[in-house]
Amino acid sequence: MTLADGIRAHLTEMTNAGTVEELWQMHLERMAGYGFDRLLYGFTRYRTTTSLGDPNDFVLLTNHSPDYTDVFIGQGLYHHAPMVNWALEHEGACSWRVLAEMLAQGNVGDAERRVIDFNLGKNVRAGYSVSFKSVSSRAKGAIALTAKAGTEQADVDAMWDEHGDDIILMNNVLHLKILTLPYVPPNQSLTKRQREALEWVGDGKTMQDIAAIMGLTQATIEKHLRLAREALNVETTAQAVAKAAFQNQMFVIDL
């Protein structure tokens, strides 16, 4: 099997993945083959001019250790991360050599320098960032590919010169596939009844209609919808329908 055949077979596997977990594990193994042993993927549908939205609503996938993510994500260091800010303003791939250039030119503020120092302390030193094309002003996705500890950026760049197009293609497919699969952020899962009630609301049914269809009282339907709103951390049922749809939690096939 040629390299091209192997990539085609891998892409077919990715497009046939049934869960985010299966897809992510597949991608981790493939990227490790190129020397990227730590990945951090993020996607938001709630971007504004001043915020990326609530981190609890992000799609976040990573194999970084908790002592890294608890600080970088949990303590909000990502707000000042130079490569995150690059991804927000650009599309495509970028070598992390730009960080050394920024430092050499003195184009780094105190907050950005703290992020860089933190990353260096966690052996997040060499790699590439890929920012995905957005079709909505509210949506943005990107992935950070971190090279193995001890790898020089020059070596990563040389590898990218040879395989970068293939790596971008595989990451684009990863991103597009994730958008089609159910993803449930922590503490935002719906029960079967809550999901069914939201589905009927999405179909335009009244409370009376839904009660008759589900064989329950209107009070019980209203309770399921209230609990769905609480689970999704929204105020209105319309917002719950939209958010559940964004997360692909509605009209899913129970396997």
Residue 164 CB burial class (10 angstroms; 0-12, 13-18, ≥19): middle
Q: Which pLDDT does position 238 carry in this prediction?
A: 92
Checking if the pLDDT of 155 tops 50, the result is yes
Q: Which pLDDT does position 186 carry in this prediction?
A: 75
What digits encode the pLDDT tens for the residues 65-108?
Answer: 999 999 999 999 999 999 999 999 999 999 999 999 999 998 88
Separation between Cα atoms, residue 103 and residue 106, nearest integer Å = 5
Residues 7-22: what's their mean pLDDT? 94
Task: Read off the pTM.
Answer: 0.85
What digits encode the pLDDT tens for the residues 200-211?
Answer: 999 999 999 999
Looking at this protein, which amino acid is placed at residue 1?
Answer: M
Residue at token pair 């089609």: 180
User: Within 10 Å of residue 253's Cβ, how many Cβ atoms?
Assistant: 6
Which residues contact residue 220 at a Cβ distance below 8 angstroms, ignoring those fewer than 6 apart?
Answer: 211
Residue 54 CB burial class (10 angstroms; 0-12, 13-18, ≥19): exposed
The CA angle 116-122-124, to the nearest 5 degrees, is: 60
Q: Which pLDDT does position 85 carry in this prediction?
A: 94
What digits encode the pLDDT tens for the residues 46-55?
Answer: 888 778 887 7
Q: Which pLDDT does position 2 carry in this prediction?
A: 67
Residues 115-122: what's their mean pLDDT? 96
Q: What is the mean pLDDT of the chain?
A: 92
- Helix residue ranges, H only, 126-236: 153-178, 192-202, 207-214, 218-232
Q: Which pLDDT does position 255 carry in this prediction?
A: 46
Residue 58's pLDDT band (cuts 50, 70, 90): confident
